[in-house]
Amino acid sequence: MLCAYLSVLFCSTIRFVRVLLLIILCSFATLGQDAKDNAAKPDQGPPVKVNILNVCTPGAEEQQEMTSALARLPKAPSFISDYEIARGVSTLGEASAKYVRLRREFKSDSPLQTIQYSLSSDAENTIETLVFRGRDVKDLLALSIEDKLSTSVSKASIVIQSDTPASRLRVERAGKTTVGLARCVGVDQSKYEPIFAQASAALAGYRRFLKLRTILASDIAWLNSGSASTGHATGPKKSAGAPMPPSGPH
């Protein structure tokens, strides 16, 4: 009886060992195959999402976003008394450009928080840029209007004295894709003329609201004088009243 019991126990042990060995062998085979597959695939890292901004022929939804953003600009803006003016030279490689910037804050009852005007000039182009930043980023993060002229035919003093039409518009929205519109050579943009006209009117209006022709007179004279390489790296900041609190990058 004892011999029979031991025989059954021995057979069971043998079967258990065989099953265990089979499981171990299968696990090694699976691990080896996974390692082989992983070695065959390069480390691609996390996926990168690229959004291409169509500024030549934006669709109907994008056009509506830009029209709505322009329509929300106050027609009779009110600013706090403080303001900032900065001027300097920016360098990229061997090229350099002189710039003048004016920053003002809207009063607290305005849907906009700040406005920044900049005029930069290098050997090729003179560029005006007006940037509005919304108080509630859910409605508007930033709206920028730009025009660009050839420096050889349009000095900074001429640009600020004239109402140059807008050539580029950009609307940034929190949690949404940025939309834009720009003049494109060889593209029929006749249906976008109302948006360009609306942006140009806003640019012309805020040139007057900011009193650029008087408040920036000495800075524009500096911008016109000499080349960028002879300008000061940073110019004076001027304020009517107490200095404005530091602002983030624009």
Q: Domain ranges for the chain, please list them.
A: 1-39, 60-230
Q: Is the pLDDT of residue 227 over 60?
A: no
Q: Is the pLDDT of residue 56 over 70?
A: yes
Rounded to an integer, the average pLDDT of 117-135 is 92
Over the stretch 190-220, which tens digit does the pLDDT of each residue have? 999 999 999 999 999 999 999 999 999 999 9
For the entire predicted model, the pTM comes to 0.71
Cβ–Cβ under 8 Å, residues 72 and 139 = yes
Q: Is the pLDDT of residue 125 over 70?
A: yes
Cα distance between residue 39 and residue 37, in whole Å: 5
- Is the model more confident about 8 or about 74? 74
Rounded to an integer, the average pLDDT of 122-127 is 89
Rounded to an integer, the average pLDDT of 49-73 is 87
pLDDT of residue 32: 54
Average pLDDT, the chain: 79
Over the stretch 130-154, which tens digit does the pLDDT of each residue have? 999 998 877 789 999 999 988 887 7
As given in the structure block, the two tokens for residue 64 are 């509506």
pLDDT of residue 2: 42
Grade residue 173 by pLDDT with cuts at 50, 70 and 90: confident
Percent of the chain at pLDDT exceeding 90: 50
pLDDT of residue 236: 43
Grade residue 231 by pLDDT with cuts at 50, 70 and 90: very low
pLDDT of residue 5: 46
pLDDT of residue 92: 81
Q: Is the pLDDT of residue 57 over 70?
A: yes
Q: Is the pLDDT of residue 127 over 90?
A: yes
Rounded to an integer, the average pLDDT of 20-27 is 55
Query: For 236, phi and psi rounded to 5 degrees?
Result: -75, 155
- Is the model more confident about 163 or about 249? 163
